Amino acid sequence: MFHKTRLFTPGPTPLLPAAQFAMAAADLHHRTPEFRALYRRVLGQLRTFVGTQNDVILLTSSGTGAMEASVANLTSPGDRVLVLTAGKFGERWTSLAKAFGCQVDVVSAAYGQTFSLDAVQAALREDTRAVFMQATETSTGVRHDVQAVAELLRSTGSEALLVVDAITGLGTTHLDMDAWGVDILIGGSQKAVMIPPGLAYLAASERAWKRMETTKNPRYYFDLRKERKAASNGESAYTPSVALIAALGAALDYIGAQAEGDLARGRELLVENAELCAAMTRAAALALGMRLFAPAAPAAAVTALLPPEGVDSGVIVKELKSRFGAIATNGQGEMKGHIFRVAHLGFFDPLDTLALIGALEHVTADSLPASKFKLGDALTAAQRVFAESRQAETAAVGR
């Protein structure tokens, strides 16, 4: 049998062919008018994609670079900060803030859950300088309520800046940074924007830029004010990943083209697409006798599933790959062997999702001969979700 390798991982995600061609053709020097035109265009597109009037900064680094930049630029040694965490990426905020000498308060929730707003309110102190969280926690497949945290901070009159790792949240979740009062919103290239790893981007509010003028933590490569100044001249401070920037431009063109060139609308369609693929996957998993790891607040970026009782999630991941060439991911850290994850962010569509569900039926049936479902049960459940969404769409167009 032929196996076509397909990524179902929440980063890196499948590559957009048009972006790959743009990369291959990007034979540009970064201190030229040609590059400056490209850079200005992509920064403008990114601003629309993020959905903000704020300046967007592009960094040649993985997503964690933008997380580090946020901590390094917004804090001073000894600052009290609050980390909201319910997974591996939340824990990364704690490690980063400690590495930069902050006093770190933590509100945590169990893996698979989101934290309570009451706990956040109780942990907020008068001298809390910044709050760090994820929009979606990729390690557990949970969506956190960014809007509610932002509103809480504003309603309590807190001086704390709100920093949101939306690396898998952008393009999968409706986010309104400016209206909600988010101070930093972070994205990464190997997630919803369909290109390889190597770029991170962030939008920063005027409050955040102001804070950077007085903070004392060290920064050099990740000096955001230096990057902002360079960007105003159409350049980056150091040699950027020119090829990835060309790819990003092509990917944002593609997302805009889904809505006749309206990139903001294209982003909404990308979010709705991820939501649909996620809903199809959840329905299918339940039909297979699996449980959702994050039933109360599931992310659209990635679905985390508990395999049927007695089956190691690693076996599912291994069999999906060896029998179908489908690359899903195991749980991270303590969650390894207990959950597996299937992504929906970026260049996925319902057809990819149906294919994965079909493969999952075979793999689950083989690993659990006494299972109660028949081949087709999960596909039927997913098809039903798909049909309902099509009906809703038709009704909306007819109105």
CB of 165 to ligand PLP, least distance (A): 5
In sequence order, which residues have a C-beta less than 8 Å from that of residue 305 and are 6 or more positions away? 285, 290, 291, 292, 293, 313, 339, 340, 341, 342
Stretch that binds ligand PLP, among 163-171, 223-231, 359-367, 382-390 (CB under 6 A): 163-171
Give the residue nearest to ligand PLP (CB).
63
Candidate residues 48, 52, 113, 134; the one interacting with ligand PLP per rule CB under 6 A: 134
Candidate residues 73, 138, 215, 273; the one interacting with ligand PLP per rule CB under 6 A: 138
Q: Which of residues 59-88 bind ligand PLP (CB under 6 A)?
A: 62-64
Under rule CB under 6 A, residue 48 binds ligand PLP: no
Q: Provide the β-strand partners of residue 294.
A: none
Candidate residues 35, 49, 89, 386; the one interacting with ligand PLP per rule CB under 6 A: 89
- Whether the CB-CB separation of 223 and 73 falls below 8 Å is answered with yes
Q: Which of 6, 3, 2 is nearest to 356 (CA)?
A: 6
- Whether the CB-CB separation of 399 and 355 falls below 8 Å is answered with no
Under rule CB under 6 A, residue 187 binds ligand PLP: no
How far is the C-alpha of 385 from the C-alpha of 393, rounded, in Å?
12
In sequence order, which residues have a C-beta less than 8 Å from that of residue 229 and are 6 or more positions away? none
How far is the C-alpha of 79 from the C-alpha of 265, rounded, in Å?
39
State which amino acid sits at residue 224.
L
Under rule CB under 6 A, residue 171 binds ligand PLP: no
Under rule CB under 6 A, residue 165 binds ligand PLP: yes
Nearer to ligand PLP, 57 or 167 (CB): 167
Q: Which of residues 277-316 bind ligand PLP (CB under 6 A)?
A: none
How large is the angle between the packed helices 263-287 and 350-367, nearest 10 degrees? 20
**CA dihedral sign, ordered 274, 280, 283, 284:** negative
Nearer to ligand PLP, 138 or 273 (CB): 138
Nearer to ligand PLP, 347 or 386 (CB): 347
Look at the block and give the residue holding tokens 């972070």: 186
Under rule CB under 6 A, residue 168 binds ligand PLP: yes
User: Which pairing describes strands 80-85 and 103-108: parallel, antiparallel, or unpaired?
Assistant: parallel
Nearer to ligand PLP, 182 or 315 (CB): 182
- Whether the CB-CB separation of 20 and 249 falls below 8 Å is answered with no
CB of 167 to ligand PLP, least distance (A): 4
Stretch that binds ligand PLP, among 32-40, 57-65, 122-130, 315-323 (CB under 6 A): 57-65
How large is the angle between the packed helices 377-398 and 263-287, nearest 10 degrees? 150
Nearer to ligand PLP, 163 or 378 (CB): 163
CB of 157 to ligand PLP, least distance (A): 29
Candidate residues 12, 112, 188, 249; the one interacting with ligand PLP per rule CB under 6 A: 188
Q: Kindly list the residues in this chain that would bind ligand PLP in the complex (CB under 6 A).
A: 11, 62-64, 89, 134, 138, 165, 167-168, 188, 197
